[in-house]
Amino acid sequence: AEVHSFLLIFSHDYVSEEMNTIVQGIRFCKVLQIYFPFSTQLYPKEFPGQDPRDCPRDISKEDAVRSGCLNAEHPDSYGHYREAKFSQTKRHWWWKLHFVWERVQAMQGYSGFAIFLEEDNYILPDFFHFYKLVLEFKKTSCSDCDMLALGNHNGLSDFSNMSNKVLTSSWLSTKHNIGMAISREVYYKLMGCSNDFCTYDDYN
């Protein structure tokens, strides 16, 4: 019965009538759709999309400066230039995090966790039960744990011995980005790192 009280938010970076029809067919809980306003679909030939005057990904900085392409002075640490399809993922994630906590009226006054899932994540029937157990573990045994990761990339080779275990560790984006549960308190901590997040030299 608890599932009926959920608010399921779909954050899109692509407008699709087919997807819209599928989402509108969901009846088991409340649903909200939000749309990333700075998508490459909406800006296909200008920033934040891929401007035709942008430097090609693999051009050398010397050749980029000589050609006068827009971002010639700013290759990444590997010498590559921005690809909009990859940088959109980062921008969309940051916008979505902010929008959910600051703009969604139903979230105002809510101090629990929001669980972020990607479009290729599958959840099992005991997902919410598992979430509540991890939340209880946090309260009783790991009060300084900021983020909950409810999935992993590794799978379990010894499921029977490991299925009742919880791992506490430093967060790594490549390991702990499945089913991230983030509280408002942690959201505020992350917003304090906006400049670092936006200027960090990601490499995808």
Give the pair of three-digit tokens for residue 59: 């051009």
Give the pair of three-digit tokens for residue 184: 């408002």
Are 50 and 70 a contacting pair, CB within 8 Å?
no
88 is in an annotated binding site: yes
90 is in an annotated binding site: yes
27 is in an annotated binding site: no
Which DSSP state fits 106? G
- How many of the other CB atoms lie within 10 Å of CB of 3? 10
58 is in an annotated binding site: no
- List the binding residues: 13, 88-92, 120
Binding site residue list for substrate = 13, 88-92
Binding residues for Mn(2+) are 120
